[in-house]
Amino acid sequence: MTVKAVIAPSILAADFGDLAADAKNVIDLGADTLHVDIMDGHFVPNMSIGAPVVKSLRKHLPNAFLDCHLMVSDPEKWVQDFANAGANNYTFHVEAHADPSALIDKIHAAGMKAGVAVKPGTPVEEVIPFAEKADLILIMTVEPGFGGQSFMPSVMPKVEALRKQFPNLDIQVDGGLGLNTIETAASAGANVIVAGTSVFAATDRKAVIEGLRTVVNAKY
């Protein structure tokens, strides 16, 4: 296997009043990427931020990898906006687009990596056809829309199925990840770990980041 741990703190749990500094802090402490949750109030019952915030983050963090997770009802509409803003990865939900393969092509053509996400209630078979074409598959471990939810171990068979079939795939998990749940996720085969509250609310953020990485890397 060639996969490695990627620790991606979710800025949804950061201090939005001092976002650039808070985001820079976790990068300086060893985080690999910043996970940016984009919610439109339609696909999920919450609203967050858009491309202008990504553009501002890029200005303050020119070298950071910005992993944008689009929880929106029309993901194709925003591809170029996020590319122009400086996003590195653009993940959309398989439930939100009729032709995921074509959308992956569009994202790649815009110069970004492409991810495909699946909600807890959607069968993993919906994303398997795109696992070789996409750069990552995101298995949601909570219902998308709000931070601070509890990790759902019931979705781990999806991770296991993907890892068995695609040993070199980047498999991302998002929702309720922390030092108390990482063993379950890593054992199932997840290597890209989105962690919001567990990192940003920690008194020792570096210890959490390193702890998550150590558990994941021990599996490979």
- In the annotated binding site for a divalent metal cation, the residues are 35, 37, 69, 174
Catalytic position from the list 37, 40, 67, 135: 37
Sheet holding 6-9, edge to edge: 6-9, 192-195, 171-174, 136-140, 113-118, 89-93, 66-71, 34-39
Q: Angle at CA 172, nearest 5°, toward 219 and 55?
A: 135
Q: Contacts for 80-85 with beta carbons within 8 Å, 24 or more apart?
A: 80/110, 81/50, 81/51, 82/51, 82/54, 82/112, 83/110, 83/111, 83/112, 84/51, 84/55, 85/51, 85/52, 85/54, 85/55, 85/58
Residue 122: phi and psi, rounded to 5, are -95, 130
Residues making up the binding site: 10, 35, 37, 69, 145-148, 174, 176, 196-197
Catalytic position from the list 32, 40, 170, 174: 174
CA separation for the pair 48, 37 (Å, rounded) = 7
* 40 annotated active-site: no
* 81 annotated active-site: no
Place of tokens 């906006």: 81
Please list the active-site residues: 37, 174
